Amino acid sequence: MLFRSLELLGDKTAARSLANKAKVPIIPGTKDAIDDIRKVKDAAASIGYPLILKAAFGGGGRGMRVVDSPDQLEARYGEASREAAAAFGNGAVFIERFIRRPRHIEVQILGDRHGNVVHLYERDCSVQRRHQKAVEVAPAVSLDPHVRNEICDAAVRIARTAGYYNAGTVEFLLDTDTNDWYFIEVNPRIQVEHTVTEMVTGVDLVRSQILVAQGHQLHGAEIGMP
């Protein structure tokens, strides 16, 4: 089951389909990975500009290019595809509508092998350089409580739909112009930023991962989640 959920969440387009199944909003974009410029042009015409090209089989800011107009598309696609192929061994991309003024919110989740999943609230990682997070803040400052609840609930729903257990992070973009929010991706692993959540919640995530792997329940005496 774990390997199956890793396949679902490690593939960005599969993760978008999973979010759709879990009734979590996603940014308008392509359903499948694309590795042909003709298909890229057709998809871009349908989605509209500005848009962003993203590596379908990797992350960390690699293989990402913003495209503001049709005349930039072919060159930017070539750059993104080559970078993705060099970094991840696959040059396929997917396309999303580009949000100009987003907040990047990620939710820490923890699941066990008995179907229990909890969230440990959110981190705001909007301060970035070259698509790399530079500052993490928890809890997110001035985040609408209703939006916070919706995003955290959505993160848990996605993890349950995938049958995921262990620590993980579900990432979202919040459009500051409309207050609409959208699923981006899941990192099915513990991130370096996990210590920010540990400081805020007092939960030792690495210890919890080990106990989950041993078969303990989140709400049992060993882990002791509320």
| Contact yes or no for 84/65 (Cβ under 8 A) | no
Question: Helix, strand or coil for residue 107?
Answer: strand
Q: Is 23 a catalytic residue?
A: no
CA atoms within 13 A on the CB side of 133: 17
Q: Which two tokens stand for residue 138?
A: 């928890």
Catalytic residue among 12, 23, 39, 133: 133
Question: Helix, strand or coil for residue 147?
Answer: helix
Distance of CA 87 to the CA centre of its chain: 19
Q: In what order do the strands lie in the sheet with 51-55?
A: 65-67, 51-55, 93-97
| Contact yes or no for 164/19 (Cβ under 8 A) | no
Question: Helix, strand or coil for residue 200?
Answer: helix
Question: Helix, strand or coil for residue 145?
Answer: helix
Residues annotated catalytic, as ranges: 133
